[in-house]
């Protein structure tokens, strides 16, 4: 039976650069982002996102995030693989724990969930998880 973790995170840094630009404002970008997680997951995250922006400013994105922190009474690190969309005002995404990525007391962690981030520095998350 899985446990549902909820909480929020705040963006602590965001460095985004285009690596290809096309007519009409379309572009491909890469963003290096750090986050502070609070709630059922408490710790620090670092993610690399790739984004494809359309002419209207909406985008699709994907990436990997390494989280160093605590879930319940266990500590360690783990990696989330994620993908989602940005509608111009809010980013929404789904994620799952990359199998075999967890270290420390979090070894064997598996799960999936998602996030919602209105344009701004704060977002909410969920993760349904268990251990092998």
Residue 119: the pLDDT is 81
Which helix (DSSP H) or strand (DSSP E) does residue 54 occupy? none
Q: What angle do CA 55, 59, 61 make, to 5 degrees?
A: 150
Residue 121: the pLDDT is 82
Residue 81: the pLDDT is 98
All residue ranges of the chain with pLDDT < 70 are none
Residue 49: the pLDDT is 96
Structure tokens at 91: 């980013």
Domain boundaries, the chain: 3-131
* Contacts with 78 (C-beta within 8 Å, 6 or more apart), sequence order: 66, 67, 97, 98, 101, 102, 103, 106, 109
Query: What's the predicted TM-score (pTM) here?
Result: 0.93
Q: Which CATH number fits domain 3-131: 2.40.350.10, 3.90.1300.10, 3.30.460.10, 3.30.1330.120?
A: 2.40.350.10
Q: How many other C-beta atoms can be found within 10 angstroms of the C-beta atom of residue 13?
A: 10
Residue 66: the pLDDT is 98
Range 95-123 burial, b when 16+ CB lie within 10 A, else e:
bbbbeebbeeebeebbbebbbebeeeeeb
pLDDT in tens, 87-125: 999 999 999 999 999 999 999 999 999 999 998 789 999
CA distance 129 to 109: 7
């Amino acid at each position: 039976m899985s446990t549902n973790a909820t909480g929020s995170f705040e963006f602590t840094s965001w460095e985004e650069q285009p690596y290809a630009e096309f007519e009409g404002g379309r572009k491909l970008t890469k963003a290096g982002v750090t986050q502070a997680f609070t709630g059922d997951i408490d710790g620090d995250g670092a993610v690399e996102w790739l984004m494809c922006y359309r002419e209207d400013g909406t985008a699709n994105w994907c990436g990997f995030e390494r989280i160093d922190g605590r879930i319940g009474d266990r500590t360690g690190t783990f990696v989330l693989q994620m993908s989602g969309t940005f509608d111009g005002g809010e980013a929404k995404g789904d994620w799952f724990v990359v199998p075999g990525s967890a270290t420390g007391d979090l070894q064997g962690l598996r799960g999936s969930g998602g996030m919602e981030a209105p344009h701004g520095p704060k977002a909410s998350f969920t993760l349904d998880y268990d251990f092998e």
